[in-house]
Structure 1
């Protein structure tokens, strides 16, 4: 039997994931709150639906790629939400970065409705999502994988199975976000210091990206700073949220996270200074007395 796959949320990651599914031969069912985004995608193959419920009724696997837990709740249980329309034995794949205990509770809520669930946060950025090379951190029941695994493999270069129930996948994603947020904050601090000390930013970037101090985040995000391009591929407020979840998870077990706390405060400062919706590399703008590169 051919599995019918649907995807909700055609943002930077979701649109690439939908493209990967279509490239793998799926007639992808899509929904986005921006009806024009869904219609544009469907022009090249697939079908755009007018609501999550309408999409869910047609699908065996529903992949949700929205921003947070609140938006996931709306997708599932809001007006025209998909939970009530999903067939028994179908699978809901949740790709947002959320508090792990919330994901555990969601699995139980959906199970009571006869719906299978995979906790499946994602990483890798828009380019890797579009090429089918992103990473998925997943955990769920064998029954859920039996239905949805081909869909997961069509969207990602690496699909990690981290447990047979919800929770472990979201915990691993939170730890990934700890490192990502701290690395971006450290990269911004280093570049800001170099600029303050009169080092040419382009020369600094060239040296660091070929030295031991390099990181993927330095190489990727400081390129945005050099280009003076703060178009939000991942916004400042994403790390206000994600590092907040990191700290909440650690606080519940009284585990100290001094670097995460500092990085969170840096993103908070950038957000309140007016850069909330700019690219997360805009955290560099909190440093005083430096002249950042300008667009040519």
Structure 2
């Protein structure tokens, strides 16, 4: 086991597909992790990994030196901190590490409220998906004053292989994540469009994927999502609805900056259409179902 980090007691809220392995990695690195999720199975998994499951967000935060939030969205983060009592349960001076993908303006607002309560917020969204969460190889985009990022560095280093201090103000990390999600969403949509075209003109999707994956037209998303686009019901690693949310955040950031984002807008509509057809909880690769529908497949 690695040397025990500078501070040991961590609260963790949000033990979903990514949060569960992230919490387990903190345990492996010697942190004492007290975690909460509304799902009993998620709490049981934390116990199996050596963490301590609790029955409320406030209990997870109580006595913790840092509280990691790996929740779905800003609404859940706000509910955990201010409605469920987690912020009040944190000791004065403790850190909230917000790792969910949230609108930059909302993160700034949350950071102000956390600061007013005598705690600090580190904006630290992540990229890398379930595979990165499991391997502790996430890319983490941290934004807060340098001393705050340095204080929680042992936690971030236990979760990611690339921790970048992108700015001194909470919200700046979320801006960087929005740009990343713009590319991810557009790349998934483009990959689905390409494979759907191949099928429409009579080329086997698997053959097309094999060829394009080794060509100049390849992308990480094509290689990762492409094989799942060939499956009728692949294992879910990231849902269609997550990209409905994330691309909505991208468009909100673009609107605030008066930046034109036509490709992001089109990708958002395609994910929204896929969700509207009842596929919101399907793997995000299943945006190809919308293309197949458009093409009469």
TM-score over 0.5 for the alignment? Answer: yes
In 1, the alpha carbon distance for the partners of 2:107 and 2:7 equals: 28
In 2, the alpha carbon distance for the partners of 1:186 and 1:112 equals: 44
In 2, the alpha carbon distance for the partners of 1:97 and 1:91 equals: 18
In 1, the alpha carbon distance for the partners of 2:270 and 2:149 equals: 39
In 1, the alpha carbon distance for the partners of 2:135 and 2:259 equals: 38
Partner of 2:64: 59
Please say if 1:166 is aligned against 2:170.
Answer: yes
Which string of whole-angstrom CA distances, capped at 9 and with x for unpartnered residues, describes residues 142-174 of structure 1? 342243110110111111101122021000000
Please say if 1:239 is aligned against 2:259.
Answer: no
CA offset at residue 290 of structure 1? Answer: 5.5
Q: How does 1:94-105 map to 2 (within 5 A)?
A: 94-105=98-109
Q: Alignment partner for residue 277 of structure 2, among 273, 277, 286?
A: 273
In 1, the alpha carbon distance for the partners of 2:126 and 2:49 equals: 25
Please say if 1:107 is aligned against 2:111.
Answer: yes
Paired residues in the alignment total 290
In 2, the alpha carbon distance for the partners of 1:236 and 1:256 equals: 23
* TM-score, length of structure 2 as denominator length: 0.94
Q: How does 1:115-134 map to 2 (within 5 A)?
A: 115-134=119-138
Q: How does 1:19-98 map to 2 (within 5 A)?
A: 19-79=24-84, 81-98=85-102
Please say if 1:249 is aligned against 2:226.
Answer: no
Q: Which runs of 5+ in 2 are unaligned?
A: 1-5
Q: Which runs of 5+ in 1 are unaligned?
A: 292-296
Given the superposition, is the C-alpha separation of residues 223 and 85 from structure 1 closer, same or farther in structure 2, using an over 3 Å criterion? Answer: same
Partner of 2:229: 225
CA offset at residue 25 of structure 1? Answer: 1.5
In 2, the alpha carbon distance for the partners of 1:213 and 1:44 equals: 41
8 Å contact 1:3–1:147 — kept in the other structure?
Answer: no
* TM-score, length of structure 1 as denominator length: 0.94
CA offset at residue 254 of structure 1? Answer: 2.1
Q: How does 1:157-236 map to 2 (within 5 A)?
A: 157-236=161-240
In 2, the alpha carbon distance for the partners of 1:220 and 1:180 equals: 11
8 Å contact 1:20–1:132 — kept in the other structure?
Answer: yes
8 Å contact 1:64–1:95 — kept in the other structure?
Answer: yes
CA RMSD of superposed structures (Å) = 1.3
In 2, the alpha carbon distance for the partners of 1:279 and 1:207 equals: 23
In 2, the alpha carbon distance for the partners of 1:112 and 1:250 equals: 29
Given the superposition, is the C-alpha separation of residues 218 and 173 from structure 1 closer, same or farther in structure 2, using an over 3 Å criterion? Answer: same
